[in-house]
A and B are shown apart, each in its own frame.
Chain A
C-alpha cells in the first residue's frame, strides 16, 4: 500500500517514485532539445567514442550537461530555501521573494546592465564577465544582511519585523529597478526583460563554477536545520527547550537562503514558484517533518525545474520560452488546484 493510516503517502515508495522522476527528467533534459541528436551519437559521446555528428559532443557536453546541472541545482536550492523560510516564519506563503532576497539580487544585476556603461564602468572593467553574477550574489546577500540588521534588536531577532522589513525592501528594490528601467535605453530594456523572466538558455560551465559552490554550500548546511525547524513548528519557545539557540538557528537559516538564492538568481535570473509550490507539494503528500520536507523539496525542486526547462526549450523551437514564464504557467494553476483540493494551506 502506498498510503498509510493517516492517508499520507508512504515515505519509501514516494522517495522511489520521486527518484525515478528525477532520473527521467535528467535523461529527457539531456536527450531532447531543438538540435536533433541520434541516440547512437549520445551514447558515443558518453562512452568517449567519436560520434557521427561532429557537434554532438559539443551540444551534449558544453550545452545540455551544464544546463541540466545548473537547472537541477537552482531548482533544488530555490525549493529548499522556500521550505526553510516557511518553517522559520511558520508562514505557508514564505518564499525567497518574501524577504527581498530575489529582489535585491535582481536589482544589483539590473544595475550592472543599465549603469555598466556609466557609473559602474569601473566595476565592469574590473570584474569583466563575472560582473553580473557576482553583483547579483552580493545584492542578494546584502539584502539578507540588511533585513537581518533591521530585524535584530538587542540580540533578539523578530520574525515579524523581518517579514515587514522584507516587504519594505521589496518595495524599495522594486522602485529602484523601475527607476533603472526608466533610464535604460530601449536596448538595455529588452535584455532586462528577458533577464527578469529567468533563463537557463545560456548556462555554461563558467556559470556553474560561479554559482555551484554557493548553492552546494547552502544545500550542505541544510541538514543541520532539520531538527530546529521541526521545533519551530511547535513554537519558538520549544526551540530553546530542545537545546538550540533560536538566534543561531535563524542566522544559519538566513545565511543559507541568502547564499543559495543570491547564487541562483545570479546564474539564472528570476525564477518564481519553485520555492512556493514544491515544499507545499511535499508537505501535502508526506507530512510536515523537515526530515522529509527538506531533502525531498531539493529532489522535487530540481526535477521540476529541469522538466520545465526541457519543455521551455522545445515547445516553441527553434526559439525558447523564458523558464521563469514556464514555471509560472505550470506552477500557478498547479498551486490553485492544490488549494482547491485541500481548501486549507
Chain B
C-alpha cells in the first residue's frame, strides 16, 4: 500500500514538475521575425506560445500558433494565448489593441527597429533582459560583434565604396528595387557599400532600363521564398557585368533585411561578393 502511494506521488511529481516549472517562466508572444529569431538564439524558444506571420525562421516557428501580421495584431487572438509578455517592434499595430492588451495585464514591449549593426546588438541585449537571459544575450552579442568587426575590417581594406544593386523579389515577376531609407541600404552601408540606385524612396517596382543604367559593382537579390528569383526572367540583370562576373548574392530576405542575430552572417556573405576594385564597372563601359 505504501509503495502504491509512493508510486502515485512519484507520478504526480513527474507530472507536476514540468508544469510548475513552466509557470515560473514567462509565456511570450513575439511579433517580428528578427525578435523571434533572437528569442530562439538565446535558447528561450520554449517560452514562446505564439508568433506573428513575419516569424518564419527558425523552422520551429511552424509549430507555434500564428497571431496574424504584426501590423494587424488581434486583441483576443493574442490574449487567448495567455501571454505574460508581447515583444514586438515599433511597427506593431493597431495601437488600440496594444493598449488594451497592456491593460489586460500583458506586458507589451515595443522595441525600436534596428538599422545599424550596433542597434541590432542592443536589441538582442534588450530581448535578453526582458526574458531574464541577459548573460546569454551578452555572450551572443560579444561573438556577433566580433564577427561584425572582422567583416568590417575586411571591408575597410577595399579602397572604394562599391555600388550595389539591391533587388527585392517578392512574387511572380514582381521585382522591386531598394531605395533610400530601407534596411537594404542600411545593410550595404554596414559593409561600406552604396546603393547603385539613387532617387527612390523605399522599395519601388523595378524599371528594367534603370537596372541597366545603374551599372552596379555587385548585385544582391533578397527573396521572400527560396528560389523565387529567376534570373532568366530578367535578362537585364543577367546582362550586367557584375552578374556575369559572379559578384552576386541571392539570399533569403529575412536573413538579409531582418537585422537580427543573423546580421553578421548576412554582412559576411554580402562582403564576400563585393569586388576588391571597381574594375567591373570600368570593363563594362
A residues adjacent to B (C-beta < 8 A): 33-36, 54-55, 58-59, 62-63, 129, 182-187, 190-191, 194, 199, 201-202, 204, 206, 313, 316-320, 322
Per the 8 Å Cβ criterion, residues 153-194 of B in contact with A are 181-182
CA distance A322 to B53 in the complex (A): 15
Q: Decide: A318 and B78 in contact? CB cutoff 8 A.
A: yes
Per the 8 Å Cβ criterion, residues 195-217 of B in contact with A are 201-204
Per the 8 Å Cβ criterion, residues 17-45 of B in contact with A are none
Q: Decide: B80 and A54 in contact? CB cutoff 8 A.
A: no
Contact partners of B97 in chain A: CB under 8 A = 201-202
Q: Decide: B80 and A63 in contact? CB cutoff 8 A.
A: no
Q: Which residue of B lies closest to A187 (CB)?
A: B91
Also in contact, A318 and B50, with CB within 8 A (given A191-B93, A201-B72, A201-B74): yes
Min distance, Cβ B106 to any Cβ of chain A, angstroms: 9
Q: Decide: A54 and B105 in contact? CB cutoff 8 A.
A: yes
CA distance A322 to B202 in the complex (A): 26
Contact partners of B53 in chain A: CB under 8 A = 319
Q: Decide: B76 and A319 in contact? CB cutoff 8 A.
A: no
Type the 1/0 row for B76-101, where 1 means its CB is closer than 8 Å to any CB of A.
11111100000000010111110010
B residues adjacent to A (C-beta < 8 A): 50, 53, 65-69, 71-72, 74-81, 91, 93-97, 100, 103-105, 181-182, 201-204
Q: Which residue of A lies closest to B78 (CB)?
A: A318
Contact partners of A191 in chain B: CB under 8 A = 71-72, 93
- Candidate in B65, B74, B91, B182 with the most chain A CB atoms within 10 angstroms: B74
Please report the number of residue pairs spanning A and B whose Cβ atoms sit closer than 8 angstroms. 89
CA distance A54 to B69 in the complex (A): 27
Contact partners of B78 in chain A: CB under 8 A = 318
Q: Decide: B79 and A190 in contact? CB cutoff 8 A.
A: no
Q: Which residue of A lies closest to B204 (CB)?
A: A182
Q: Which residue of A lies closest to B29 (CB)?
A: A318
- Could you pull out 12 A-B pairs where Cβ atoms are within 8 angstroms? A35-B80, A55-B79, A59-B104, A184-B202, A185-B203, A186-B182, A186-B202, A190-B71, A191-B93, A316-B68, A318-B74, A320-B74
CA distance A191 to B95 in the complex (A): 12
CA distance A186 to B67 in the complex (A): 21
Q: Which residue of A lies closest to B94 (CB)?
A: A202
> Which of B65, B69, B77, B80 contacts A190, CB < 8 Å?
B69
Q: Which residue of A lies closest to B70 (CB)?
A: A190
CA distance A314 to B235 in the complex (A): 46
Also in contact, A194 and B69, with CB within 8 A (given A313-B74, A318-B74): yes
CA distance A201 to B93 in the complex (A): 11
CA distance A320 to B79 in the complex (A): 13
What would 9 more interface pairs be, CB under 8 Å, given A54-B105, A202-B75, A313-B77? A59-B76, A59-B104, A63-B76, A183-B201, A190-B71, A204-B100, A318-B66, A319-B53, A320-B68
Min distance, Cβ B93 to any Cβ of chain A, angstroms: 6
CA distance A313 to B77 in the complex (A): 8
CA distance A322 to B68 in the complex (A): 11
Q: Decide: B80 and A317 in contact? CB cutoff 8 A.
A: yes
Min distance, Cβ A345 to any Cβ of chain B, angstroms: 35
- Candidate in A54, A201, A206 with the most chain B CB atoms within 10 angstroms: A201
CA distance A316 to B202 in the complex (A): 31
CA distance A313 to B74 in the complex (A): 9
CA distance A203 to B93 in the complex (A): 13
Contact partners of B105 in chain A: CB under 8 A = 54-55
Q: Decide: B79 and A59 in contact? CB cutoff 8 A.
A: yes
Q: Decide: A55 and B77 in contact? CB cutoff 8 A.
A: no
